[in-house]
Amino acid sequence: MVQPIPVPEDSINATPALDVQGLSVEFPTRRGVLTAIDDVSMQIAPGEILGVVGESGAGKSITGLAVLGLLEHPGRIAQGAIHVGGRRVDTLSEAELTKVRGREMGAIFQDPLTALNPLFTVGKQLVETIRLHTPLSKAQAEERALELLRSVGIPAPEERLRQYPHQFSGGMRQRVVIALALAAGPRLIIADEPTTALDVSIQAQITALLRKLCDETGVGIMLVTHDMGVIAETADRVCVMYSGRVVESGPVSDVIHNPQHPYTKGLMAAIPSLHDRVEVLSQIDGSMPRLNARPSGCAFHPRCPYAGAKCAAQKPPLQQVGSTRAACWLQQGGTE
Amino acid sequence: MNVVLEDTAPALSVSHVSKVFDVSAPWLNRVIERRPKLYVEAVSDISFTVEKGTCFSIVGESGCGKSTVARLVTGLYATTNGDIRFGTGAKGRPIKVQMIFQDPHSSLNPRWRVGDIIAEPIREMKLRDTEKETLDRVRELLETVGLGADDALKYPHEFSGGQRQRISIARALASEPELLVCDEPTSALDVSVQAQILNLMRRLQDELGLTYLFISHDLSVVRHMSNHIAVMYLGRIVEQAPVEELFTNPQHPYSKLLLATIPDIENPKRRVEAQAGEPPSPLNPPSGCAFHPRCPVALSKCSQSAPDLCPVSPEGKVACFVAQAAETADPVPVAL
């Protein structure tokens, strides 16, 4: 059984913004049940940014969608519990979930254009969201919409409220989506690749904004991304996912500078450096296994240079190794 | 088409090339609504040369015209102005050019077997006399890019993203090119797979003596691959320098902005306030230097006239009044 990730010392008494325990997500198909997420646990304290990083198909987006209750049919939560701000959400009915979603948790997706309704002004969408989740009057909601746009750094918010999404640039649109996610003052925001569709100079502005909002409002953010650089500059802690499981988690600087799991090591070494030039990048041969062909034991063992007999036979638990937690037999009594 | 062949040292020389696209509304709309014709200058007056056996990279944000340059060089677009000259290759004939595209999912025909995809250029250009020789060549190409000979009978959907990009490279190599134009070849790939493809491209460069024109928005990839870099902003080259010079001592304020905003894993900039501003629309570019509205060191003349790309070091050129003035007066670069 995977141990829960400890919450940082200073927030031990506060209710975590997100508490996921032993989550498994399955997709029944004609050819059998695919396990997209296998026994994943994570916690996010208020005001903390947890980075969830992994390659495509690692299950990082599915984790975010499961928390939001937005798994597409036939996906289902097979095991585990999800608590948002101390309230269990995975057992709620669709009607109850609709009330929680938006108020307790907000979402920011990759493409800001498809996240906004092109037929309504930005102001109307903000006011609608605010009034749905709070008892504010129309005038008060408009006031709050203005405040929100100001807080996400949109210049001239009075005029911008009356404009349509297509009149905004990509970076400004993502700011509007962030304002919408914040509209009802949620405890948790799931940000799924929020900067992937943006240019680097805009990306830096958006990640700085997320950090600022996190500090100011105390919202917990789950930052799902494939970009280790974004994680390094934004997140407090990081979970590295591989083939539906968390293989390593810990404080960002420890995971980046002193990774314990061979996959994390390989991933870090594969990123071309901005400072030193090497002749040959170190590479991880092969690719992530498909869901219907996940190897036995540790899913990484066919690609792992240190793999032994035990790795193919038994799944390693996530255990404290130095300053991070890693799921690898190498640090837990050898691979033989 | 004013593409001229020349027996000179560089593999490729591009001089004063511009490309203007007509983006006007349809004729009837223009007549009824009295709208004028509308043009976008996607690439304006750019010049560079690529020496044989080197890698020349063009970096910039989306919409800066870097992909248009790739398509101009490969003849997929005709130039509006200027010359593109190819050097002499094997047997005194002009250098052969091939292109690798960004998305390996859309650049391979899903209905063709991989063997046929790779054999098509060989058959079309009659590079081999018999079918058996063609199939031998296909097998050899597959092995060169790290796939198996029996993969020739499979369809593209049976491969992962990285393997598909290997197939694209094999297809590009089939016609025995000397210059490869690579338009974001690793942007659609995960980092561990990206490292595999970058290593493959470097190995092929050594083995086959290839010249690369490499288009990317990812500065760490560009630093790993290239000898020379050109930074583009809104259709113009704003700085051009050897890779080490550009990374250690960028001259143009835009190059500095790019380098300052890319997420850095080794030294994360967690508390730096991101610089404001967004790239302007190419439909309505600012007067003078296109970067002046975002530039922290802009002078009054920057909004009136556009600076030329002038040498500031033995191999470095920059299009910025401030950097050029600093270079003539004082060798210390202007701080951002």
Which chain A residue shows the shortest CA-CA distance from B160? A287
CB-based contacts of B328, cutoff 8 Å, min separation 6: none
Of B198, B243, B265, the CB nearest to A228: B265
Q: How many other C-beta atoms are found inside a 10 Å radius of the C-beta of residue B196? A: 24
Q: Is B61 on the interface with A (CB under 8 A)?
A: yes
| Beta-carbon separation of A283 and B278 below 8 A | no
pLDDT, chain A, mean: 89
pLDDT at B2: 53
Q: Is A230 on the interface with B (CB under 8 A)?
A: yes
What's the number of CA atoms in the CB half-sphere (13 Å) around residue B287? 6
User: Model confidence over A180-217: pLDDT tens digits?
Assistant: 999 989 999 999 999 888 888 888 888 999 999 999 99
Instruction: Give the DSSP letter string of B116-149.
Output: HHHHHHHHHTT-SSSHHHHHHHHHHHHHHTT--G
| Beta-carbon separation of A200 and B217 below 8 A | yes
- The C-alpha R_g of chain B, in whole angstroms, comes to 22
| Beta-carbon separation of B196 and A171 below 8 A | no
User: How do beta strands A105-108 and A18-29 pair?
Assistant: unpaired
Q: How many other C-beta atoms are found inside a 10 Å radius of the C-beta of residue A295? A: 15
User: In this structure, are residues A208 and A224 in contact, taking their beta carbons and an 8 Å threshold?
Assistant: no
Q: Name the minimum distance, in Å, from the CA of B260 to any CA of chain A.
A: 9
Which chain A residue shows the shortest CA-CA distance from B190? A55
| Beta-carbon separation of A270 and B272 below 8 A | no
| Token pair for B280 | 């302007």
| Beta-carbon separation of A275 and B266 below 8 A | yes
Token look-up 């004729």 returns: B27
Q: Is A258 on the interface with B (CB under 8 A)?
A: no
In chain B, where do the E strands start and end? Answer: 3-5, 12-22, 39-50, 55-59, 81-86, 97-100, 179-183, 211-216, 228-233, 236-242, 310-311, 317-318
Q: Name the minimum distance, in Å, from the CA of A204 to any CA of chain B.
A: 6
pLDDT at A13: 52
Long-range pairs for A93-102 at CB < 8 Å and ≥24 separation?
A94/A69, A97/A69, A99/A133, A100/A69, A101/A68, A101/A69, A101/A70, A102/A129, A102/A132, A102/A133, A102/A183, A102/A184, A102/A186
Which pLDDT band, with edges at 50, 70 and 90, does B272 fall under? low
User: Cβ-count burial of A332 within 10 angstroms (0-12 exposed, 13-18 middle, 19+ buried)?
Assistant: middle
User: Model confidence over A228-277: pLDDT tens digits?
Assistant: 889 999 999 999 999 999 999 999 999 999 999 999 999 988 888 888 77
pLDDT at B5: 53
CA A148 to chain centre: 23
Specify the DSSP element, H or E, that contains A248: strand A245-251
Which pLDDT band, with edges at 50, 70 and 90, does B330 fall under? low
| Beta-carbon separation of B221 and A228 below 8 A | no
Phi then psi dihedrals of residue A40, to 5 deg: -105, 130
Q: Is A276 on the interface with B (CB under 8 A)?
A: no
B268: chain A residues, CB-CB within 8 Å: 232-233, 252-253
* Cβ under 8 Å to B: A residues 38-57: 55-56
A55: chain B residues, CB-CB within 8 Å: 190-193
Q: Name the minimum distance, in Å, from the CA of B258 to any CA of chain A.
A: 6
> 3-class SS at B19?
strand
In the chain, the amino acid numbered A291 is L
Which chain A residue shows the shortest CA-CA distance from B278? A202
Which chain B residue shows the shortest CA-CA distance from A263? B192
* Cβ under 8 Å to A: B residues 261-290: 261-266, 268-270, 272-279
Categorise residue A207: left if φ over 0, alpha if ψ from -120 to 50, beta otherwise.
Answer: alpha
In the chain, the amino acid numbered B197 is I
Q: Name the minimum distance, in Å, from the CA of B40 to any CA of chain A.
A: 18
pLDDT at A285: 84
Q: Name the minimum distance, in Å, from the CA of A99 to any CA of chain B.
A: 35
CATH superfamily of A9-104+186-331: P-loop containing nucleotide triphosphate hydrolases (3.40.50.300)
pLDDT, chain B, mean: 88
Q: How is the beta sheet containing B81-86 ordered, strand by strand?
A: B3-5, B81-86, B12-22, B39-50
pLDDT at A155: 86
Q: Is A273 on the interface with B (CB under 8 A)?
A: yes
> 3-class SS at A281?
coil
| Beta-carbon separation of B194 and A200 below 8 A | no
Mean pLDDT of B280-296: 87
Question: Of B131, B129, B147, which Cα lies nearest the Cα of B139?
Answer: B147
CB-based contacts of B285, cutoff 8 Å, min separation 6: B41, B234, B235
Adjacent-strand bridge partners of A111: none
What CA–CA distance (Å, rounded) separates A297 from A304?
12
For chains A and B, what is the number of CB pairs under 8 angstroms? Answer: 127
User: In this structure, are residues A46 and A219 in contact, taking their beta carbons and an 8 Å threshold?
Assistant: yes
User: In this structure, are residues A210 and A223 in contact, taking their beta carbons and an 8 Å threshold?
Assistant: yes
| Beta-carbon separation of A204 and B163 below 8 A | no
Q: What are the structural domain ranges in chain A?
A: 9-104+186-331, 112-185
Choose the weakest-confidence range: A87-91, A166-170, B73-77, B267-271. Answer: B267-271
Provide the percentage of residues in chain B whose pLDDT is more than 70.
93
| Token pair for A87 | 């309230």
Which pLDDT band, with edges at 50, 70 and 90, does B273 fall under? low
Of B62, B263, B277, the CB nearest to A233: B263
| Beta-carbon separation of A229 and B264 below 8 A | yes
User: Cβ-count burial of A231 within 10 angstroms (0-12 exposed, 13-18 middle, 19+ buried)?
Assistant: buried
* Prediction ipTM score: 0.79
User: Model confidence over A312-324: pLDDT tens digits?
Assistant: 999 999 999 888 9
User: Model confidence over B299-320: pLDDT tens digits?
Assistant: 888 999 989 999 988 889 999 9
User: In this structure, are residues A51 and A68 in contact, taking their beta carbons and an 8 Å threshold?
Assistant: no
CA dihedral A164, A167, A170, A175 (to 10 degrees): -50
A205: chain B residues, CB-CB within 8 Å: 274-276
What CA–CA distance (Å, rounded) separates B291 from B307?
11
User: Model confidence over B28-41: pLDDT tens digits?
Assistant: 989 999 888 889 99
Which pLDDT band, with edges at 50, 70 and 90, does A1 fall under? very low
Which chain A residue shows the shortest CA-CA distance from B197? A283
User: In this structure, are residues B94 and B3 in contact, taking their beta carbons and an 8 Å threshold?
Assistant: no
